[in-house]
Structure formats: structure tokens, C-alpha cells
Structure 1
Amino acid sequence: MTADARAATLAARLDLLPVSRWHRMVTLIVGLGSFFDLYEVFLGGVLAPVLAKQWHLSSTGKSAVISSAFAGMFIGASLLSLAADRWGRRRIFMVNLLVYSLFSLASAFSPNLQVFLVLRFLAGIGIGAELVLVDAYLAEFLPARVRGRYIAWAYTVGFFGVPLVALVGARVIASARFGIDGWRWLLIGGGLAALVVLFSRRALEESPRWLAARGDFAAADAVVGRVEERVRAWMRRAGRPVPELSEATGRHAAELAAAQRREQRPRLVDMFRGRYRGRTIMMWTFQVLQTVAYYGFGSLAPIVLVSKGFTVTSSLGYAGLTYLGYPLGSLVSLPLVERFERKTLIIVSAIGIAVFGLIFGFSTSTPLIVAAGFLLTICSNVFSNAFHVYQTEIFPTAVRSSAIGIAYSLSRAASALLPFIAVAALDRLGAGGVFGGSAVLIAALCVDVWLLGPRTNGRALEDTAATS
């Protein structure tokens, strides 16, 4: 049997498995890791107004507090995603959380701004590739028919960290407990929780698609065999008949093998050639622009609310209420990501972000501000879940983590620069001007995806990657 046929057979066995408790458990364990990336993304916006008061920070200092972790994430998304294609998804899954946990705990005891920024940068390196690995790992295990919904479930687990950081922050950040400032407890909590998730990840298998792409078919076959046995055992315990899939597997494997021959084992440099060039350009452009669409609101909302006259404590409380839209938006996305074409869902939800962002920016009524922010965050997570699924589907296994990670690192670089631009613009133009400019950039994002993005729903990874 040729290498293409062996890899296709392994992929077909995974695609045709019944969805079981094992799939749900893996999705939960991986999703718990996404919590920390999202926790970090919005933590800067919570810490900035508090540290500005405690350490007497200027606008530049507040911007640095927000951007320091993003700068580290830029490095981490680039380097660790490349490492995941070279040394494996599971191994880097362990490394990134360990690095994040250690430096997050260390940053909690920062004596001044300079030390804090360095440690936050290093923690950002650790967590930078987390979402890239979440996307690649789950896409390579999940059957095509449920890939979108289950990746969305993983992010739903993670997104509960967003309102948590604001609502808990509003209660603890302004006062000390056991002689330790409240904001330091937010960092301690994140670091310790990451160690718990790191321990649970020891149960994860290595991606058999990655193993096959490296030519280690014996190890890949062993992983798939263990997964199949766990699924069969679950079905027997549940009293469900165990299907015989050999004939269907053979047919599906033949289709995937043909797709892999068209793919011709691309290298990373091939992402800038042929059918992949347009996808790479689209995704690079998208990642820069989605920083404004997605991270702009979450990381700046507490500062925007302070600029509208709210106190630090009340701004965190109101931000927490708007952030409730993140997990709810993720739940809303579950039936949508399989029902509607991914690229269409990205565009429609991005338009919603722009519209509600304008209302949030120009409004002076507290109920309207909170309502607009809440609806914006719902749209944000329909948008986020759709694009996280989408980016896993348009690149081949051999370079999936690297191609996604390099593109994703651009969003982190833009996120590191955004606070310096947005905070200065907020001082000069007000919230309305900031969100007006954001709406223009979101419109450009929609055009980019519409013109250059391929269709992907319900197709095997090998088929989508090999089709123009």
C-alpha cells in the first residue's frame, strides 16, 4: 500500500467513527486550554486602569500593559506553531501551558512596571500558539460532519473565561487579600489553573494525521486503533450497535487518497504558490483586520467605559455584563457553523460587530451601552468560532499548524500595536471615532473573505486542502 493510501485509510477511519464520549472528552480537555488564551487577551484591559492608578501610568504605560502579552503571543504563535509541525501537537500543547503558567505566576509578584511587562511578554510567548494548536489538533481528530460544531464547543468552554475575568476582577481587583493586591490574584489564579489543565493533557494522544504526514504510520495506526477501541467500548456500554465500517472506509479512503495526490505533500514555501497563494493572502489580511474587529472591543472596553465617565470598579462590572455575550455567542454559533457556509457566517457576524460597535461608541445611555456591548460580543463569538474552524480547513496537514500560526501571529503583532493607536485615538477622537474607524476596517475584512476565501463546509480536510 502506498504512503498516500495508508494516510488516507487512517484519515477515513477517523472521519467515519461514530461521535462518542471520547470525542467529547478530548474537546473538553482541549477547550479548557483555550480558556487561558482568552483570559489573557482580556486581562490586559482589566489590569490597565487599575495599574494606571497604582503605578501612575501615562497613556503609553496603559497601552504597554495591554500590549505586553500580545507582543509575546506574536513570538509564541510564530515559533511554537512551527514547532508543532516539527515535534508534534501534543508535545507543544504541554510546553506552551507550562511556560505560560510559570511566567504568569511570576508576573503576579512584579515589583514595578518594567518587571511586569517583561514577565507578561514571556507568559504571552507560552500561550501564543494555544488557539492555533486547539484548531489544528481538534480538526485532525474530529469527523468532518461535526468538526465545526465540536470546535465551537471547545471555544464555548474557553469563552467563559472572558466574563469571569471582568466580573471576578470587579470584586477582587480593588482590594487586597492576605496582604496581596487584588490584581495579583488574577494572575495567580490563571497560572495555577493552567497547571491543572496541563496535568489533564497528559491523557491526550498525538495527532495520527501528523504522525502519518511525518511517515510514522505504525504510531499513527496505533493511535487510531486505540481511539477506535475506546469508541467501541463506549458504544457497547451505551447499548448501541457497533457498526462495521470496513467497506465505507475503503471507499472514503480512496477519495481521500486521490485528494492527497492532488495535494502533492506541500512544504511551507508552497503556501505562497498555486492554489494556496490566494488563501495565504486572504488569511494574512484577515488576521490583521480581525484584530480590530475582535480584540479591539474586548481589550479596550474597560478603558472606553472609564473615558465615558464610569469609575474603574463600575466599568469592570459593566464590561463583565457585556462580556457575558462571549460564551452566549459561542453557544449561538453551535448550530450555525455546520448549517451555514463558514465564510458567509464570518462576513455576516463581522457586519454585526461593526454595527453594534458604532452604537456602543456613540451612545451615552448606560443601558444602551451595555446592550450594544452585549450584542457585539455575541456577534464576536459567532465570528470567532466560524473563523477558527475555517482556518483549519484551508491548509494541508503537513503545514497546517505553521500556516495557521504564522498568519495568526500577525493578529498578535497587530494586537500589540493596537492599544498604542487606539488609546491615543480615544483621547483625541473619543469612543465614537475609534469605533467608526473600526467599522471601516471591518468592511475591508468582509471584502477580503468574500473574494478570496474558499468554501469548506462538510468536506474532509484532505479534500478541502487539495481543491482550488
Structure 2
Amino acid sequence: MSGGAVETTPDDGTAASADGPRLTVAARLDAVPVGAWHWRITLLAGLATFFDLYEVFLGGVLGSVLTEQWHLDSNGKALLVGAPFFGMFAGAVLLGRAADRFGRRPLFMLNLAGYSVSSLLAAFAPDLTSLIVLRVVAGLFLGAELPLVDTYVSELLPGAVRGRFVAIAYTLGFCGAPVAALLGGQLVAERDLLIDGWRWLLVFGGVGAAFVWVLRRSLPESPRWLSAQGRHAEADRIVADVERGAGLAPVEAGQLPESVPESAESAAPLRELFRPPHLRSTVMLWIFQVLQTVGYYGFGSLAPLVLMAKGHDVVHSLTYTALSFLGYPIGSAVSILFIERIERKTLVIAAAAAIAVFGLAFGTAESSAAIVTAGILMTLTQNIFSNAFHVYQAELFPTAIRGSAVGIAYSLSRLTGGVLPFVGLAVLDEFGATGMFAGCAVLMALLCLDVAVLGPRTTGRALESVVRK
């Protein structure tokens, strides 16, 4: 292509150029008033996060239930809890890259379909080995789900409300945590219907994901991604539909506010992650994802087993866990109120420090009231933390590599999550709950230092400008 920008005029009359459509799509999306379309996108994205998080927290429930039924040793419990994380590690890398290559929407559909089938098959697993294998496969399809939600919602929502709507999507998703523990507590109490009670937990996930898959068929492709691929006419049609739905006439390029165009490169190579201006953010996010897993999933996936180690039986452990997990959707909902008012990196650091404090309180708690109170406070702050960093990580990279950058970084959290049960249960056996949560507190302090030193400021900025800071 020669040096000068070639002016063209698409069928709808919108002014465009070689760089223009990319600028036009981004600016038009940011200029559309928030309305029913934005809510529908957010709710459909959020419904599927429910099953990713349900699957993550299901590991601890199954581990506590099957310890007695299948006489699991420490390694068996660790494998059962960690299995989906190993699948998620591979899925986050492979499917995250596929989302940059083939689009956001096809991967949304593939993720849910694959998870639904594998979860239903796992419900009828005859032994531990087949159950672990099928949970790895389920994790494979869910691996890119949360990073893809971060990417997709961030690309379609205006910068001024981007954080709030991502938090709304995750508030729906985090209802999966107490549901997994509550259903587990009810279904293991010898209330079987045709099949063992714990198998219904997997049926619930598979059937629910299939239902959401049907609803998700109406999702459009990300116009920002289409534009980055050079598919400007498709991107323009989607944005024009959004504008008409908001009661606006399709905007002409000359009427747009000044913005920063993205790179014209449609499929940036991964080596761009390790070059300025992205290297600093890449290093920060990789360190962050390894450390946040311990503080976040260390509690969520091991809480029932920690309580059993304290001497509580399986039913009481799952009841206390379910009550503690109520903090997940509550914390996510609370974050909506101020996620746009506090700089993202500051909110991440403050919430991480609170997680360390409340984790220590949970580790030392003895009475049921103290256990539940510390658990709720910890899960509440965990989801303020989680929503802030999910928005944050999607704001750090340009469209051409956003899915890959977030997916690869997030895969490190999944790999750490797979190893965590082996290390965590060993530490729990050796040093008790207090020692385990003390170690988590140290790692969260390191996380705070990482974000403080290397993390950029992003709140309220257009995606096209953040990546150049």
C-alpha cells in the first residue's frame, strides 16, 4: 500500500480513509449514549461468566464430597480441585489467540458449547480418572471465557462506563460461587434422584450453559475487532445499527470528536507484547496473574477443605462456605458504585491489602460466627479486587493483540491455580490454616508492589489512548 491515505465513501455515506474507519468505529462506539443495547450485551456476557466461576468453585465442593465417597487421599483431592485450572491454562493461551484471529463471537459460542458437553459427560463419569480428564476438558473451553468477556465488553462500552458495566457482568457471574456451595451442601445430604447428588452439580452446569449458548447467538461481533481486521463495512453496519437503536442518525466522520486511531496492523505478532510501549504492562500483568491466584482462588477453591481441616464435617463446611461465598456477588455489586470513581490501579492495591487482612482473620477464626464473618468480608473484598483487575487488564493493550495479551497473562493464573491445591494442601497439613493464609498475605503484598511500580493509570481513558501511555 502506498504512503498517502486514500479517501473512500462507503454506501451509507460515512466519510472514511485508510485510517479513518478504525478511528470512526472507536469514536462512534464511545459517543453512543448508554442504553438497552449496552445492557443486553453486558447481561449476555455476564450470564456465561456464571459457569466459569461455578466450575472453579465447584472443585472445592467436589473435593470435600468425594473425599468420603471415593476415599480420596491428598493427591486425589488436589487433582480434582486443580483439574479445570490445567485445562483453563491451555484454553486461555490457545483460545485467547484464536479470539484475535477469528473473532470474539465465534469463540464465545465455542466456549459454551464445549463446556456444556464436557460437563454433562463428567456427570456420568464412572471413576476419579475419567472425572478428572473431563474436568480438564471443561476447563479447556472455559479458559478464555473471562478474558474474552473483559475484552469484548471493554471494546463495546464507552470509556466513561466501561468499568461499571464489566462489574455488572461479573456480578451475575459471581452468583455461581454461593450456588455451587449451596447446591453441594444440599445435594450431598443423601438426597439423590436417580443419580448421586454430586452428579447433579455437573448436570446443572452443562444444561445451564446450553441455555445461555442459545441466548448468546444474538451477540454481534466486536466492531473494533472487525475494523482492526480491515472489515470496515461490517464494523460500520453494526455501529450504525447501535446508533439507530439509540435514536441517533449514523454519525459522519467529520462530526466525530478527536480520538487516537489504533495501529493499522490487523494481526499484530505476539512479539509486540515484549516491546515498548507494551513491555512494562506485560511484565506487570504476568507477575500480577501468578500472585493474584494465590490470594483469590486459594480461598475460593480450598475453603471447604480448610474448614474440614479445622474439624467441621462436610455438610457444615459446605454451609459455612456457602454463607461466606455470599460475599462474592455482594462485593461485585458494591464495586459498581465506585469502580469509575477510583483510579483502577489504586483500587486493585487497596483491595489486595484487604484480602490479606481478612484472609488471616479467616485462618485464625474458630467459632462459626467468626468464620462466616471473616469469610464474607474476604469474598466481598476479593470481588472488588477482581472486578477492578478484570477491567484493568483489558485496558492495557490495543485491539490487534488484546485477546492474546489478556488470555496469555490470564493463563498464568490458571496454571498457578492448577498447582495451587498441591502446594496449598501440603502447607495446610504442615502449618495449618493460619500458616497457609500468612503465606497468602505475603504474596498479596508483593502483588501490591508490582502494580504500584509497573501499572499505568487507565480509568476513564479511551482504549486507543491508554495503550500509548
State the TM-score, normalizing by the size of structure 1.
0.95
Q: Which runs of 5+ in 2 are unaligned?
A: 1-6, 8-16
User: Identity of aligned pairs, percent?
Assistant: 54
Correspondence for 1:110 among 125, 128, 136: 125
Which of the numbers 62, 83, 105 marks the counterpart of 1:68? 83
What corresponds to 1:457 in structure 2? 459
Take 1:212 and 1:432, find their aligned partners in 2: how far apart are those partners?
Answer: 52
Which of 123, 129, 137 is residue 144 of structure 2 equivalent to?
129
Secondary structure, counterpart of 1:256 in structure 2: coil
2:152 maps to 1:146: no
- C-alpha separation between the residues in 1 aligned to 2:326 and 2:220? 33
Residue 34 of structure 2: SS of its match in structure 1?
Answer: coil
Give the conservation status (yes or no) of the 8 Å contact 1:144–1:458: yes
1:310-345: CA deviations, max 9, x gaps?
Answer: 110010000000000000000110022100000000
Give the match for residue 41 of structure 1.
56
Matches within 5 A, 1:332-411: 332-411=334-413
Opposite residue 387 of structure 1, the aligned amino acid is F
4+ long deviations beyond 6 Å:
262-265
Letter of the 2:150 partner, please give it.
D
- 1:326 and 2:328 matched: yes
Q: How does 1:285-296 map to 2 (within 5 A)?
A: 285-296=287-298
Contact 2:230 2:266 in 1 (8 A): no
More helix by share: 1
State the secondary structure of the residue aligned to 1:339: coil
Contact 1:9–1:249 under 8 Å retained in 2: no
> How far does the alpha carbon of each residue in 1:415-439 deviate from its partner, in whole angstroms, 9 at most, with x for none?
0000000011111110000000000
- One-letter code aligned to 1:444: L
Partners of 1:24 and 1:156 in 2: CA distance: 13
CA shift for structure 1 position 177: 2.6
Q: Distance in 2 between matches of 1:244 and 1:113?
A: 57
Matches within 5 A, 1:61-100: 61-100=76-115
CA root-mean-square deviation: 1.6
Structure 1 position 362, deviation (Å) = 1.3
Amino acid at match of 1:48: G
Match of 1:250 among 253, 256, 259: 256
- Of the three residues 207, 216, 219, the one matched with 2:222 is 207
Partner of 2:3: none
Q: Give the direction of change, closer, same or farther, for the CA distance of 1:128–1:353 in structure 2 (3 Å limit).
A: same
Work out whether residues 74 and 410 of structure 1, in 8 Å CA contact, stay in contact via their aligned partners in 2. Answer: yes
Q: 1:445 to 1:262 in 2, by over 3 A?
A: farther
Aligned length: 454
Matched residues in 1 for 2:224 and 2:400: separation? 9
Letter of the 2:78 partner, please give it. S
| 1:72–1:125 contact (8 Å) kept in structure 2 | yes
Question: Residues 98 and 265 (structure 1 numbering): CA distance in 2 closer, same or farther, change over 3 Å?
Answer: closer
Give deviations 1:198-250, integer Å, cap 9, x for gaps.
Answer: 00111000001001111111111111112222222xxxxxxxxx589658852
Aligned partner of 1:19 among 34, 37, 42: 34
Q: Which amino acid in 1 is paired with 2:256?
A: G
8 Å contact from structure 2 (residues 188, 198) kept in 1: yes
Residues 279 and 453, structure 1, Cα contact 8 Å, conserved in 2 = yes
Q: In structure 2, the residue corresponding to 1:110 is in which secondary structure?
A: coil
Distance 2:142 2:371 in 1: 31
Match of 1:236 in 2: none
Give how far 1:3 is off. Answer: 2.7
Return closer, same or farther for 1:70/1:24 CA change in 2, 3 Å cut-off: same
C-alpha separation between the residues in 1 aligned to 2:264 and 2:109?
A: 34
Q: C-alpha deviations, 1:120-150, integer Å up to 9, x for none?
A: 1001101111001100100110011100000
Unaligned runs of 5+ in 1: 233-241
The answer as to 2:424 corresponding to 1:422 is yes
Query: Among residues 20, 29, 44, which one is paired with 1:29 in the alignment?
Result: 44
Q: Give SS of 2:140's match.
A: helix
- Indicate the residue corresponding to 2:4 in structure 1: none
1:101 to 94, 107, 116: 116
Q: 1:264 to 1:198 in 2, by over 3 A?
A: closer
2:230 matches 1:228? no
- Equivalent residue runs for 1:176-215 within 5 Å: 176-215=191-230
Tell whether the 8 Å contact from 1:172 to 1:182 is kept in structure 2 after alignment. Answer: yes
Cα offset, 1:276, TM superposition = 0.7
Inter-partner Cα distance in structure 2 for 1:266 and 1:200 = 32
> Under a length normalisation based on structure 2, what TM-score does the superposition of the two structures give?
0.94
Indicate the SS of the match to 1:421: helix
Structure 2 distance, partners of 1:21, 1:457, is 24
